[in-house]
Amino acid sequence: MTYPNIDMLIDGRWIGGAAAIPVFDPATESIIGHAPAIDAPTLAGAVAAAARGFSVWRDTPPAERCRIMLRATDLIRARREEIAATMTLEQGKPIVQARAEVDRAADILAWDANEGLRVYGRIIPAAPGLSHSVLRRPIGPVAAFSPWNFPASSPARKIGGALAAGCSIILKPSEETPGTAVLMAHAFQEAGLPPGVLNLVFGDPAHISETLIARPEVRLVTFTGSIPVGKHLAALASAQMKPTIMELGGHGPVIICKDADIERAARLCVTAKARNAGQVCVAPTRFLVEAPVHATFVDAVLRHLAPLVTGNGMDEATDIGPLANARRITAMEEFVSDATERGAELRAGGARIGGPGLFFPLTVLDRVPLNARAMHEEIFGPIMAIRPVADIDEAIKIANATDYALAAYAFTGSARIIDRLGRELECGNLAVNHMTASFPETPFGGEAQSGHGREGGTEGLDGYTVTRLVSVDTR
């Protein structure tokens, strides 16, 4: 396929940049295109465009906003194959998973578009001649930053929430995966979105973030990415008294109870771990298995892992594509080396597959000691760290023994244990007996160092609105 031309969308016009950033295919390590790098005057123009776009979009009736968003969603669905192929080419994930992500992005946008019709206020009873109206108003232009691991669904979260609430947005996707966002932006433009409502920029992340956050026109910052970068952006925003929505790192524990369907649990865990080669903030990483079923679980994992195909994501038969960049290869090698040096048993994988291409197999580490890096640092790659535990008490203690609190998982048939996990596990999202941490209609986000604010569901529009009281005395 032909990789799309990468330009920036500002005030309804597609423009290039003064410098070029190479984009690589991680399956071949070859350059497939270039992204522009925005300069200061053009970035200032994007801010001005977003301010103008906001004044138009804010006053557009919600029903019309919904219609435009749904038209864009229909175009994205119609272009599923093109968007998915672009995503696989620039990010590496298997084409089957890329198609599913395009579908998910469209579902997110459709949910948000319709939810925008239900951004209600309320009337507070007062006295005859005195009325109190509580309004929910769009907060204003939004600066949004999305990562490389989900080039369609992460931008969809931010675009959908902002536009449904009546905000304009300046989106900076990752320069490593720009093509997917460009194709999505084309769909919005062709759907009739007014100029300036959606602006797309690329370039030096520090320059863009520091400039946008400092501008008074920008009223909200939303970011998906690592904890260190999220903290930096949150500090910049707090200096300007600007709210943030932060979806940061995760280190998902999976508690396998002795009463669980072990075969099913192992199959679902392997499938979830293979997704996007483990480069998922909600990926299962620490598998805490009650001792009586530990050996059975490990054997089942190895059996379900064996037939998985690692290869170029453009091949329909591929289950695990390449890692997205060379940084992840180095990180995986370091995690494996550290764990085995501390006593973990390497049961599968563990070393890079010969190139070209950034391929690393699904790796199983068993009996991983608590002091291993894999037990307390985000892995963000295809490594399963398994550890037997004596009971549910130990499992909960280990699960909570990190600074992360994004997604958690459990397999059990006990209503009592499910109730306890819901109360005691520190996480923003808990999935029991399945491995899906979020849906378009449900709130998604973390606690503790994993961030704050929510994307998705009714709560997903809250961060993009402000509450205003209008009190009128006609007496």
Q: Using one digit for the tens of pLDDT, what is the confidence trace for 168-187?
A: 999 999 999 999 999 999 99
Q: Using one digit for the tens of pLDDT, what is the confidence trace for 187-239?
A: 999 999 999 999 999 999 999 999 999 999 999 999 999 999 999 999 999 99
Does pLDDT of 17 surpass 90?
Answer: no
CA 97, CA 108: separation in Å to the nearest integer?
Answer: 16
- Residue range of the domain that includes 414: 252-440
DSSP 256-305: E-TTS-HHHHHHHHHHHHHGGGG--TT-EEEEEEEGGGHHHHHHHHHHHH
Q: Which of 247, 290, 426, 455 is the catalytic position? A: 247
Other Cβ atoms closer than 10 A to 233: 23
Q: What is the pTM of this model?
A: 0.96
Number of domain units in the chain: 2
Does pLDDT of 19 surpass 80?
Answer: no
β-sheet bridge partners, residue 363: 383
Q: Which of 167, 269, 281, 427 is the catalytic position? A: 281
Q: Using one digit for the tens of pLDDT, what is the confidence trace for 391-412?
A: 999 999 999 999 999 999 999 9
Mean pLDDT for the stretch of residues 253-274: 99
Q: Are residues 260 and 214 in the same domain?
A: no
Q: Are residues 211 and 345 in the same domain?
A: no
Q: Domain containing 99 — which CATH number?
A: 3.40.605.10
Sign of CA dihedral 222, 223, 224, 227: negative
Does pLDDT of 156 surpass 80?
Answer: yes
Q: Residues near 273 by Cβ (< 8 Å), separated by ≥ 6?
A: 283, 284, 362, 382, 384
Please report which residue ranges of 380-468 form alpha helices under DSSP H.
392-399, 415-424
Q: Are residues 69 and 17 in the same domain?
A: yes
Tell me what pLDDT residue 354 has: 87
Q: Domain containing 311 — which CATH number?
A: 3.40.309.10
Q: Are residues 74 and 41 in the same domain?
A: yes
> In 394-464, at which residue ranges do the beta strands (DSSP E only) sit?
407-411, 429-432, 451-452
Nearest to residue 89, comparing CAs of 150, 3, 149, 147? Answer: 3
Residue 61 within a domain: yes
Percentage, residues of the chain above pLDDT 90: 98
Q: Are residues 333 and 372 in the same domain?
A: yes
Percentage, residues of the chain above pLDDT 70: 100
Q: Using one digit for the tens of pLDDT, what is the confidence trace for 344-384?
A: 999 999 999 987 999 999 999 999 999 999 999 999 999 99
Does pLDDT of 435 surpass 80?
Answer: yes
CA 113, CA 135: separation in Å to the nearest integer?
Answer: 19
Q: Using one digit for the tens of pLDDT, what is the confidence trace for 298-352?
A: 999 999 999 999 999 999 999 999 999 999 999 999 999 999 999 999 999 999 9
Q: Are residues 57 and 101 in the same domain?
A: yes
Instruction: Determine whether 247 is an active site residue.
Output: yes
Q: By three-state DSSP, how is residue 34 classified?
A: strand
Mean pLDDT for the stretch of residues 105-111: 99
Tell me what pLDDT residue 456 has: 97
DSSP 41-75: HHHHHHHHHHHHHHHHHHTS-HHHHHHHHHHHHHH
Q: Are residues 229 and 261 in the same domain?
A: no
> CB of 437 within 8 A of CB of 277?
no
Residue 37 within a domain: yes
Residue 2 within a domain: no
> CB of 272 within 8 A of CB of 239?
no
Q: Are residues 272 and 222 in the same domain?
A: no
Q: Are residues 195 and 58 in the same domain?
A: yes
Q: Are residues 205 and 312 in the same domain?
A: no
137, HSE (Cβ side, Cα atoms, 13 Å): 15
Q: Are residues 397 and 433 in the same domain?
A: yes
Instruction: Determine whether 281 is an active site residue.
Output: yes
Does pLDDT of 18 surpass 90?
Answer: no
- The pLDDT mean for the chain works out to 98
Residue 240 within a domain: yes
Tell me what pLDDT residue 1 has: 79
Tell me what pLDDT residue 404 has: 97
Q: Are residues 37 and 159 in the same domain?
A: yes
Structure tokens at 168: 């304009």
Other Cβ atoms closer than 10 A to 236: 17
